[in-house]
Amino acid sequence: MGTPHYAREILKTLIDAEDMDVSLVLTQPDRPVGRKKVLTPPPVKVLAEEHHIKVLQPNRLSDEGIEEAIKAANPDFIVVAAFGQLLPKSILDIAPCINLHASLLPQYRGASPVQQSLLNGDEKTGVTSMLMEEGLDTGDILEKVEFIIPKEMRLHALMQQLTMDACKLTLSTIRNFETITPQKQNESQATLCKKIKKSDGEIDFNDTAALIYNKYRAFEGWPGIFASNGTKFDRLSLVDTQSQNKAGEILAFEAESVIVGCSRGALKIEILQPASKKAMTAKAYCVGRGMKVGDRII
């Protein structure tokens, strides 16, 4: 059971494993994608159909015939990765349900664990395999793999790393399942992360440079980072985290980039994109508006 690219790679690992047989795949329904709203199948469905594996796409797992179809497949395990629906007890009882969650549980239960790890500037993250129960990511931990996050790493690269780790962990957990002792999660350490909204990408130079830079890392691709007037920022780097500045003040120009002060710390910005206009170098943006050192960027 899974939907996005992360789940597709785990499915591919299971298909390629000589000691495993995938008999049934469940994924979300096809969704409209892009401006033209083209009905698009999830990555998991595309892969499953390439390998002639039966695919079900229920709106809800309680839909008629779904529980019966899973029982008919007679699974040894149900592997779940970013499926997008909670499993009811009737399905949890069919076979051990193993979830591959992209955080070190009980930290970051919920929908956006990888983004949350970057937002918080964590030194490490990882993937946890767990036995599912009716709660959201609350089941007993089976195995974990940790990864030290490079300070400049952004969302796509971190997701790629954790996907590779999840694939290895899936095989390890299934192959060693009988000898693994499940561990209860420590509820006192549990944290929950919410689904990302577009508005989460808004920044203010009254924030610290470190906070803005971590938003830039976490929101790569979507929603990105932008000012309240819609101006988008890209190709950021952290200049320092301690200097005291006027928020949004242009401190210096460096080649095609601009150094901008935050309430604490400073950022180098290479690309700006005003609302409804094309992206341009930060220097071109400033020159076109007659901005110089000491002016506010926004």
- Structure confidence at residue 178 (pLDDT): 97
- Structure confidence at residue 184 (pLDDT): 98
Architecture of domain 5-193: 3-Layer(aba) Sandwich (3.40)
- Structure confidence at residue 96 (pLDDT): 97
Structure confidence at residue 34 as a pLDDT band (50, 70, 90): confident
Query: Which pair of tokens denotes residue 136?
Result: 């959201």
Residue from 2, 1, 4, 8 nearest 167 by CA: 8
Mean pLDDT (whole number) for 20-35: 95
- Structure confidence at residue 2 (pLDDT): 97
Query: Which pair of tokens denotes residue 49?
Result: 């159909």
- Structure confidence at residue 235 (pLDDT): 98
Q: Sketch the domain layout of the chain as residue ranges.
A: 5-193, 198-288
Mean pLDDT (whole number) for 59-78: 96
Structure confidence at residue 35 as a pLDDT band (50, 70, 90): confident
Residue 273 has a CB neighbour count (10 Å cut-off) of 17
- Structure confidence at residue 151 (pLDDT): 95
Structure confidence at residue 59 as a pLDDT band (50, 70, 90): very high
Q: Give the start-end residues of each E strand in 17-148.
A: 25-26, 31-33, 38-40, 55-56, 78-80, 97-101, 109-110, 124-131, 141-148
Beta bridge partners of 156: none
The model's pTM: 0.95
**CA 287 → CA 223, 227, 237, 263, distances in Å?**
27, 19, 21, 24
pLDDT digits (tens, 9 = 90+) for 158-209: 999 999 999 999 999 999 999 999 999 999 999 999 999 999 999 999 999 9
Torsion over CA: 286, 291, 295, 298 (sign): negative
Structure confidence at residue 40 as a pLDDT band (50, 70, 90): very high
User: In the chain, what percentage of residues exceed pLDDT 90?
Assistant: 97
- Structure confidence at residue 251 (pLDDT): 97
Is 3.10.25.10 the CATH number for 198-288? Answer: yes
Residue 228 has a CB neighbour count (10 Å cut-off) of 9
